[in-house]
Amino acid sequence: MARVAFFALLCAQAAFGLTISKRATAYFNPTANGGSLLNNAGNGLGEPLNVIVSGLSSPDVLTDDGILNFARSIGFSEECFGIHLGDPQSANLGDGNGAVNQTIELRQDFGDPSVGTCLESLIGGNHFRVYRQNGPQANSGALFLAVSHEEDVSENHTISPDGYDVGRNELVAAAVGNTNFNGVSYSTTAQDITGLIAPGTNGVNHDIAQDGIVTLLTVTIV
């Protein structure tokens, strides 16, 4: 029966030009197809995409609602009253979509998903932007995150010294292991990857050095 179903699927593919694809990779290297591990901050410089949520994560995690719920399980939520100051930043993930604006920006909520991000806007803290790799040339479904720790409102929310590495490390520390929110439980593992982005300040916004490490998170709903 399985062979018959598989043969029928192949016939349908041939007859109707269907493309059968299955996500079976953690991510594609954006630089292999003209992309970058730096987003576009709008001034010729960019912020490092220093965390990747693997395309091998549970599929529900990789949706818009799914990444929001996971983020809430590790201490992040939507911006204060949904108000965003500043223009969105774009990224080219080498997937054939070109430069695409961030899907969402989430901020540290200090334990209160409802209004905690308002506190982050005042005193500073961690935040990240989300970009999805889903174009026709590299459809991993992975989410690339630009994570950074920022100063308080009196410093105009500029990135903290060493804020890219600090922001990444804080997010990863909160994510690894078991977390839950709204009845959904997650188990997350992490792997540090080098070679995707060169360490240093070349092309990096605010001239803040980063260590060249990108952390791959695999998030499984349990």
pLDDT of amino acid 79: 76
Cβ neighbourhood burial of 151 (10 Å; 0-12, 13-18, 19+): middle
Main-chain phi, psi angles of 179, to 5 degrees: -135, 170
Which tens digits make up the pLDDT trace of 33-82?
999 999 999 889 999 999 999 999 999 999 999 999 999 999 999 977 55
CA distances in angstroms from 3 to 7, 13, 102, listed in the order given = 6, 15, 43
Which tens digits make up the pLDDT trace of 135-170?
999 999 999 999 999 887 665 567 999 999 999 999
Q: Has residue 86 got a pLDDT over 90?
A: no
Confidence of residue 118 (pLDDT cuts 50, 70, 90): confident
pLDDT of amino acid 11: 46
- Residue 218: name the closest of 191, 193, 194, 189 by CA: 189
> In this prediction, what percent of the chain has a pLDDT beyond 90?
72
Output DSSP code: residue 87. Answer: P
Strand partners, 46: 204
pLDDT of amino acid 18: 36
Q: Which residues of 104-121 are buried (b: 16+ CB within 10 A; e: fewer)?
A: bbbbbbbeebeebbbbbb
How is residue 187 written in tokens? 């188990």
How is residue 134 written in tokens? 């889903």
Confidence of residue 111 (pLDDT cuts 50, 70, 90): confident
| Average of per-residue pLDDT across 114-129 | 82
pLDDT of amino acid 157: 61
Neighbouring C-beta atoms of residue 7, cutoff 10 Å: 10
- The two counts, helices (H) then strands (E), for the chain are 4, 10
| Average of per-residue pLDDT across 99-117 | 89
Main-chain phi, psi angles of 146, to 5 degrees: -100, 100
